[in-house]
Amino acid sequence: MILLMTIIIPGTWGQGSRVYETLTLKSEILKMDRKYAIYLPEGYEQTDRSYPVLYLLHGGGDDQTGWVQFGQVQHIADQTIGEGKAGPMIIVMPDANTGVRGYFNAADGSFEYEDFFFQELIPHIEKTYRVRSERRYRAVAGLSMGGGGTIFYALHHPEMFAAAAPLSAATGNWDMEQLKKRLKDSGSKATGQQIENYYHRHNIESLIKNASEEELKKIKQIRWYISCGDDDFLYEGNSLMHILFHKNEISHEYRVKDGAHTWTYWRDELPIVLEFVAKSFMQH
């Protein structure tokens, strides 16, 4: 008789990473339940260690499952961390595709997603999970619409993030008339003053020009990684952002690579982003 034996090494069973993709929290600001996905690194459930956190934002048309399903975040994060290119971190992927699509407060004040993100989501994550809450241990990244969210979250709240990594980003409003047409087509009830305020809050040039000395100092303290494919239809806005940052002496890594507005490009970029933000969490 041949006996087949399974050898279990003590301390190794069940210690892999975990991804939960349909978690919810109740939002008083948005008056609805909001979903999010989360990646917990290997060892999270076996220790009492606290971890740095990356908020990873999806693009238009996806939801909190986009980076899980199409971006293969668990596999890529496990591999990047396992190879020692990035330290263990928690990755939070919120849904910005329910109710009103997008990461910002609506111009007419009817849906305040950005307020939800900073006033409810981040406090919920820091209360529920062992997350290091200091700025130096928090980063934001995202693709397309989520790349735009990344840019403006970091510019609006530079005191909150150590690193920002927009990929193939929708870089916001470069022309007032285009914004007016877009809002009109969407049925927005914003007044002229609300539209003007929205424009300047979502225009990179206005934000940098109007930033106080202290705010600009904090923006410059963020480690920026900007990447866009050479065949991406959003290439122009990313190029303009690079030029604007350069003129204002905002240090950043700017990469134009072979590729288009596709998941192939973003999957290739994700390990680079993880390595980049992980270095931001390190002591130098």
Question: Hey, what amino acid is at 217?
Answer: K
Band (11; pLDDT cuts 50, 70, 90) = very low
pLDDT digits (tens, 9 = 90+) for 32-47: 999 999 999 999 999 9
Which band of pLDDT confidence, cut at 50, 70 and 90, is reported for residue 186?
A: confident
Read off the pLDDT of residues 231-244 as tens digits, 9 standing for 90 and up: 999 999 999 999 99
Distance CA 140, CA 151 (A): 9
Confidence of residue 102 (pLDDT cuts 50, 70, 90): very high
| Banded model confidence at residue 187, pLDDT cuts 50, 70, 90 | confident
Q: Is the pLDDT of residue 1 over 60?
A: no
The residue ranking higher by pLDDT, 67 or 192, is 67
Look up the pTM and report it: 0.93
When mean pLDDT is compared across 162-176, 178-192, 230-244, the lowest value belongs to 178-192
The confidence score (pLDDT) of residue 62 equals 97
Does 179 have pLDDT greater than 90?
no
Cα of first residue to Cα of last residue in the chain, in angstroms, is: 60
Look over the chain and give the mean of its residue pLDDT values, rounded to a whole number: 93
- pLDDT, tens digit (0-9, with 9 covering 90-100), for 206-224: 999 999 999 999 999 999 9
Torsion region of 228: left, alpha or beta (phi above 0 gives left; psi -120 to 50 gives alpha)? beta
Encode pLDDT of 249-265 as tens digits.
Answer: 999 999 999 999 999 99
> What is the reported pLDDT for 183?
84
pLDDT at 112 over 50: yes
Helical packing angle, 176-185 and 192-201, nearest 10°: 120
Residue 229's pLDDT band (cuts 50, 70, 90) = very high
Cβ atoms of residues 80 and 271 within 8 Å? yes
